[in-house]
Amino acid sequence: MKVVKRLLIIFFIILACVGCDQSTKLLATKTLANKPTASFFGDTFRLQYTENTGSFLGLGGNLPNKQRFLFFTVMVTLILLGLFAYTLVNKKLDITKIFTFSIILGGGISNLYDRIVNEGAVVDFMNMGIGQLRTGIFNVADVLIMVGVFVLLIHSIKKENYEKNDL
C-alpha cells in the first residue's frame, strides 16, 4: 500500500475517532456536569460526569502537576508519535493492524487533546457494572483504545494459530 493511501486511511480513522469522542465529551459536559448520576438498565449502565487527572482508574492522579504533565502529556505524545510513524512506514502491516493502530491513535490523541485543553484532566462519563462490581468511569476514547488492543490481540492469536496449522 502506498504511503499516501495509508496516510489518508490513518488520518480519516483518527479524525472519525477524535470527532466521536470529543462530541460525546462536549455533550457530557453540557448535560451531565454538576448533575446527579443517571442510571439505566437496572443500574447496569451509568452516566456520571467526572474529570480524571490520572490514567486508567485514576492511576497517577495524585502525582505532582509537573510529574503528571511529563508522564501523561509529554510521554504520551512521544508514544503516539512513535505509533503513528510505525503505522505509517511499516510496509509489513496488514489492513487490520493499520485500522487497529489508527483507532488506538484516535483514542489516545483525543484524550491527549483533553489533557492539553482541560489543564491535565480528561472528561469521563460512562460506568458499567452489576452491584458493587463496576468498571471505572470512562469515555469513548478509552473504549476505542480497548477495542483496538482487543482486536490486535485476537488478530495476533488467529494469525499465530494459522501459521502453526500451516506448517
111 vs 146: CA distance, rounded Å: 13
Locate 84 and state its grid cell.
503513528
132 vs 110: CA distance, rounded Å: 30
Given strand 133-134, what is the order of strands in its sheet?
38-40, 45-52, 122-130, 133-134
Report yes or no: 122 and 50 within 8 Å, Cβ to Cβ. no
100 vs 80: CA distance, rounded Å: 13
Q: Of the listed 21, 43, 114, 142, which one is catalytic?
A: 142
DSSP category for residue 138: B
Q: Of the listed 21, 43, 94, 124, which one is catalytic?
A: 124
Residue 43 catalytic? no
Residue 94 catalytic? no
Residue 72: how many other CB atoms lie within 10 Å = 22
DSSP category for residue 59: T
Q: Is 120 helix (H, G, I), strand (E, B) or coil?
A: coil
Catalytic residues: 124, 142
